[in-house]
Each structure stands twice: as C-alpha cells, then as structure tokens.
Amino acid sequence: MFLLAIFGILFLSGCKAEQKCTGNPRMYNGKMCASTTWYIDGHKGACGCGPANGDSQFDWNHSGFVAAASQNMFDGNPSKAWCGQMCGKCVKLTTTGGFVPGQGSSVGAGQSHVFMVSNLCPNEYPNLSWCSQDSRNGYLNNYGYHAHFDLEDGSGQIRSIGWRDHNPEVTYEEVNCDQAHQQDSRTPSYGMYHQCQCGQQGK
C-alpha cells in the first residue's frame, strides 16, 4: 500500500511536470507562456510577405524564423485577418522544457529563438484546438495557453533547431527585431518586413 502510494505520487508528479507553465493564464518564471506547433505553407500570409502580384512568399518568409500568431496575439480586433498590429513585430520564444501531454515532447529548457510574426493562425477550423483563444473560452486554447505560435518550417529551420514535432511549450516576450537579426540572421529585420504589403502601409 505504501509503495503504491509512492508510485502514485511519482506518477502524478511526472504527469504534471509535462507542462511547466501553470495558472490561468499559464505562466512560468513570471513570464507569459505559449504553445507552439510548426507548419509549412507557400503563401504570403496575413501580413502580405510576398510580391503584391501573387501569393508566393519572399524567400526569407519561407526560410527565416517567422510565425503565425493566434488571432488574439495577431490583433486586438478579433475579426482582423490582414495586417494585424503584431505584423512585423518579434517575439523571443524560450523553451520551458515542458510540452502539452500527448501533443509533443521535451526539447530541454532555456533555448531561445526570436520569430517575426508574419501570419495569422485563425480562430477557425482546423485551427481550433491551438488558436481558439477568445472571450467565450476565457482567452485560452484547449491546453490552457493565452497565446499560440505556429512556426514556419519551409526550409527545415524548425527541424534544424530541434523543435519540429516536439511542439515545445515556451515563454514569450516582445523584443527588437533588428537586434535579434544581428544576433541570428534567420530572424528577419524590420527592413525585410518593410517589403511586406502590410509593412509598406506602415502597419
């Protein structure tokens, strides 16, 4: 009985350890948490990061550290699906060592990369489990996160940093894109963003 209790406690604490972020909304070390996934698409996306006369992407939009943000991160207006206020802004994502049970695995804690928001992960099918943060569910997705970032892996950049398929839990904070670009050229600079249709509109 005693041993069973010990195993039970170990098992339960093992389960809880999968997500390091706790609370409502989930936080870790005083920072806001987000869930992440990866995707590949060849479209210029909701910030217009491709030539105006078509739907292809700029090369950096395909191979750089860019992300589609959940609707509530993309813009405060829940129906804004083009040129959101987050377009061209950068977020530093730092792994917590956690992940959503059944949806990923740990990549270890403390790995940081800076991503420019270049797209929207819409609050609609088939994105509802990750990107459905709205007033009806207390601005949390199915896994309790206030924010979600879907990371573009068009040329294997997410695989190369070891995050692909792990869908790591991260903390996020807004940072300066140019400084981040100087440290790692895979993060687009503001100059690159100004090629985007939304960037040209000063948005």
Ligand X SMILES: *[C@@H]1O[C@H](CO)[C@@H](O)[C@H](O)[C@H]1NC(C)=O
Interface ranges with ligand X (CB under 6 A) = 37, 39, 42, 51, 56-59, 62, 121, 126-127, 130-131, 150
Q: Which of 75, 150, 178, 184 is catalytic?
A: 150
Q: How far is the CB of 57 from ligand X (least distance, A)?
A: 4
Q: How do 31-39 and 109-121 pair as beta strands?
A: unpaired
Tokens (6 digits) for 35: 């869930």
What letter represents residue 2's amino acid?
F
- If the CB atoms of residues 28 and 58 are measured against ligand X, the closer one turns out to be 58
- If the CB atoms of residues 30 and 126 are measured against ligand X, the closer one turns out to be 126
153 catalytically annotated: no
- If the CB atoms of residues 129 and 176 are measured against ligand X, the closer one turns out to be 129
Residue 14 and residue 21 in contact, taking contact as beta carbons nearer than 8 Å:
no
What residues does 171 pair with on adjacent strands? 33, 94
Residue 171 and residue 31 in contact, taking contact as beta carbons nearer than 8 Å:
yes
Q: How far is the CB of 29 from ligand X (least distance, A)?
A: 24
Closest CA to 118 of 185, 7, 44, 52: 44
Q: How far is the CB of 131 from ligand X (least distance, A)?
A: 6
178 catalytically annotated: no
Q: Which residues are catalytic?
A: 41, 150
